[in-house]
Amino acid sequence: MRELLGEYRRQRRLGLEGNIYHKTQVELAYNSNHIEGSRLTEEQTRQIFETRTVDGPARVQDVQDATNHFRLFDAMLKTADDPLTVELLLEFHRMLKEGTDQAASDPIFAPGVFKTLPNEVGGVITILPEDAPERLAALIATYEAGPRRFEDIADFHYRFERIHPFQDGNGRIGRMVMFRECLRSDVMPFIVGDAMKQFYYRGLANYEDEPGWLLDTCRSFQDDFVARFLLLVPHIGA
């Protein structure tokens, strides 16, 4: 997938519509934000990306989240050759949450900082705030020392979400990092689809007992990516 990373970067520079860069930006932002409660339609998300305007009713926060997600994707492409670090994830979080109403409402939601209050995911209490920086650093060190196969990327995602290092935005950061690490590690990338989120959540919830549920769900997302995205770059998909 190193060739695909280069194609993403090339198409971003060209600034044309209807290519894999354009399609990925829209669908990744739409699905990842929709999983977290955005009410934008896919068409509205596309319009924001193309024109920075939106037709129809839309919450200001949802528009800001989509815009930030587009910037985050570009930052992900720019840094996709670099090792994963705590500092990079903090910068990703800053970009995702900067300028949002939530970030302005309370210091606990400040962009680019670790959580200060306990949080949970799927009803499961995550790592305590005081332990999150050390646990995240240890997770990254273990991951960087390994082979970074498909299974390792999915495992990292599960363990990142169990740490839940930020007060908000963990799911979107985690899914962006999965996409990045696939590109970096010569693994087929994928988009976690909102329509299949119940299977994705089930895979995360049961990962310790049955990791195959999450792995199989992510493989189905890979199949979808091959069928719908690589046709835009047939010289890579061949």
**Residue set of the binding site for ATP:** 168-175, 200-201
- Scanning the structure block, which residue is given the tokens 């061949």? 238
**Alpha-carbon span 174 to 120, nearest angstrom:** 15
Record the tokens describing residue 75, joined without a space. Answer: 């930052």
Give the ranges where the chain is alpha helix by DSSP (H).
2-14, 20-35, 42-51, 60-79, 86-97, 101-105, 132-144, 150-163, 170-184, 197-205, 212-228, 234-237
Catalytic option among 34, 93, 164, 235: 164
164 is catalytic: yes
* Contacts (Cβ under 8 Å, ≥6 apart) of 81: 5, 184
Query: Which residues are part of a known binding site?
Result: 168-175, 200-201
**Alpha-carbon span 196 to 190, nearest angstrom:** 13
Residues found in the chain: 238
Record the tokens describing residue 39, joined without a space. Answer: 């009410």
Catalytic residue set: 164
